[in-house]
């Protein structure tokens, strides 16, 4: 969310930013609403001031046994007027609040301008895609032969976009989770295991609500939302808190299952593990001082990359252009891993700096040493990494001609075997 005063004072800059992001939002109504709101605010505050002083006076008179009926009658009128104005204010604030909640973040100046994903820019590449002396298979074919992922039974038990992991498949899922958490915690990230059902306030705090309700699973009674990413519960750990400067930066890492409706993705990635309603992910979350956040974004991205390097999986890093960025983000790097079965790079991690966008919504502030007042922290997060997609990458990159899969060196202590057969 952007600050109302900021929007008021930077309306032209905001217009340009929205154009770059392909957002068509009419800003003209906002300014007049704000004008009305501030005028009403001034009026009600003046009336309250009058009521406060006169009410005190009435109290004094009554204690002295004097008659205060005239003042009481007058204040009755003042109170009615206050009520009337507050009613109007509430209506206006409802409108401006909704308006602000639906404005996306402003892209950082270093983000390339572009209309959609075709204009994202590659930043770097790591590793050489392996050359095969046979035609590499898709992971679902590999998995079927090895009997380690069961899509049919996943569909029977739950539905489309669900899978059952079996034997070495289940073990591989767990091995990846442990490797990632071990690597992240060794770099100073504190391990968190949060609730995966959360309330409405938390979803609003990180920006999923109110705009993206259709992409979430919801439990009806009592009402909860299933998290689409650990970003939600972990960022909300510090909702409505004032942190001390010396606590920053805070690094958290969390494994959680993630749940996504994938509404509107019909026909996309219908086969395999790439796009599931339920998937596992290890997440990295940071809270930083504003002046540190872009440096921390580079470090966070590098920490996610380190896992792919450890697994010897080729990847590239791209910076998302203004037209392809997420709603809450000011800058996003996607890490894409090489998938021989699809002969292309696929997203395996998304690392973003939200600046103070989430912090303002979730009211996460900090106090500088020896300075008056508070400031919003900057929040960042990134996958480190999506486990299901990493498993796909391992299967496809380490497959052999005979249908078996070599276990990457780094995973052997966790798997207890060298080859999945």
Partner RNA sequence: GGAGGGGUGGCUGAGCGGUUUAAAGCGGCGGUCUUGAAAACCGUUGUAGGGCAACCUACCGGGGGUUCGAAUCCCUCCCCCUCCGCCA
Q: Which residues are marked as active site?
A: 260, 275, 347, 350, 389
User: Partners of 164 in the beta sheet?
Assistant: 150
Specify the DSSP element, H or E, that contains 231: helix 231-235
CB 38 → RNA: shortest distance, Å?
A: 6
Nearer to RNA, 3 or 409 (CB): 3
Nearer to RNA, 38 or 192 (CB): 38
Q: Do 98 and 201 meet the contact criterion of CB atoms below 8 Å apart?
A: no
CB 211 → RNA: shortest distance, Å?
A: 22
Buried residues in 287-307 as b, exposed as e (16+ CB within 10 A) = bbbeebbbebbebbbebbbeb
Supply the Cα-derived Rg of the chain in whole angstroms: 27
How many Cα atoms sit within 13 Å of 81 on the Cβ side? 16
Q: Is the Cα torsion angle 202, 203, 209, 214 positive or negative in sign?
A: negative
CB 374 → RNA: shortest distance, Å?
A: 4
Nearer to RNA, 76 or 401 (CB): 76
List residues binding RNA (CB under 7 A). Answer: 3-5, 38, 41-42, 45-46, 48-49, 51-56, 58-60, 62-63, 72, 75-76, 78-79, 83, 90, 222, 242, 365, 367, 372-374
CB 258 → RNA: shortest distance, Å?
A: 22
CB 72 → RNA: shortest distance, Å?
A: 4
What is the C-alpha to C-alpha distance for residues 78 and 83, in angstroms, rounded to an integer? 9
50, 97, 119 from 38: Cα distances, Å = 19, 14, 42
What is the C-alpha to C-alpha distance for residues 395 and 336, in angstroms, rounded to an integer? 16
What is the C-alpha to C-alpha distance for residues 93 and 99, in angstroms, rounded to an integer? 9
Q: Which of 165, 161, 183 is nearest to 174 (CA)?
A: 165
Q: What does the DSSP 8-state code read for residue 213? A: G
Q: Do 354 and 379 meet the contact criterion of CB atoms below 8 Å apart?
A: yes
Q: 10 Å Cβ neighbour count for 361?
A: 24
CB 231 → RNA: shortest distance, Å?
A: 22
Query: Maximum Cα–Cα distance for the chain, whole Å?
Result: 104
Q: Which of 139, 146, 149, 106 is nearest to 7 (CA)?
A: 106
| The two structure tokens encoding residue 68 | 């205060």
Nearer to RNA, 1 or 4 (CB): 4
Nearer to RNA, 159 or 222 (CB): 222
Nearer to RNA, 79 or 145 (CB): 79
CB 49 → RNA: shortest distance, Å?
A: 3
| The two structure tokens encoding residue 235 | 């960022």
Nearer to RNA, 48 or 125 (CB): 48
3-state secondary structure of 92: helix
């Amino acid at each position: 969310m952007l600050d109302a005063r900021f929007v008021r004072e930077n309306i032209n800059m905001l217009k340009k930013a929205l154009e770059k992001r392909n957002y068509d939002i009419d800003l003209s109504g906002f300014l007049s609403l704000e004008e009305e709101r501030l005028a009403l605010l001034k009026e009600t505050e003046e009336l309250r001031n009058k009521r406060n002083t006169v009410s005190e006076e009435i109290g004094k008179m009554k204690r002295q046994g004097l008659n205060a009926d005239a003042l009481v009658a007058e204040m009755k009128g003042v109170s009615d007027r206050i009520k009337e104005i507050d009613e109007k204010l509430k209506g206006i604030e409802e409108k401006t609040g909704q308006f602000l909640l639906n404005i996306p973040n402003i892209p950082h100046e270093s983000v390339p301008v572009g209309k959609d994903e075709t204009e994202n820019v590659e930043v770097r590449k790591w590793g050489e895609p392996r050359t095969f002396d046979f035609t590499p298979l898709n992971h679902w074919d590999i998995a079927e032969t090895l009997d380690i992922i069961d899509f049919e039974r996943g569909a029977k038990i739950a539905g489309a976009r669900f899978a059952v992991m079996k034997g070495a498949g289940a073990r591989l899922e767990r091995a990846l989770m442990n490797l990632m958490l071990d690597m992240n915690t060794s770099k100073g990230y504190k391990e968190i295991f949060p609730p995966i059902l959360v309330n409405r306030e938390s979803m609003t705090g990180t920006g999923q609500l109110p705009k993206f309700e259709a992409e979430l699973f919801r439990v009806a009674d009592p009402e909860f939302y299933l998290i689409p990413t650990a970003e939600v519960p972990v960022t909300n750990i510090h909702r409505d808190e004032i942190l001390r400067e010396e606590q920053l930066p805070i690094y958290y890492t969390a494994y959680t299952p993630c749940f996504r409706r994938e509404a509107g993705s019909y026909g996309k990635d219908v086969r395999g593990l790439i796009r599931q309603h339920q998937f596992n992910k290890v997440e990295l979350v940071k809270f930083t001082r504003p002046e540190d956040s872009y440096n921390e974004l580079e470090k966070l991205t590098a920490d996610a990359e380190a896992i792919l390097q450890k697994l010897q999986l080729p990847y590239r890093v791209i910076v998302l252009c203004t037209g392809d960025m997420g709603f809450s983000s000011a800058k996003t790097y996607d890490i894409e891993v090489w998938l021989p079965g699809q002969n292309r790079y696929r997203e395996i991690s998304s690392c973003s700096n939200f600046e103070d966008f989430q912090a303002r919504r979730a009211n996460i502030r900090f106090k500088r040493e020896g300075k008056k007042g508070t400031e919003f922290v900057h929040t960042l997060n990134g996958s480190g990494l999506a486990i299901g997609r990493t498993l796909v990458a391992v299967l496809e990159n380490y497959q052999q001609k005979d249908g078996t899969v070599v276990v990457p060196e780094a995973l052997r202590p966790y798997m207890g075997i060298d080859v999945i057969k």
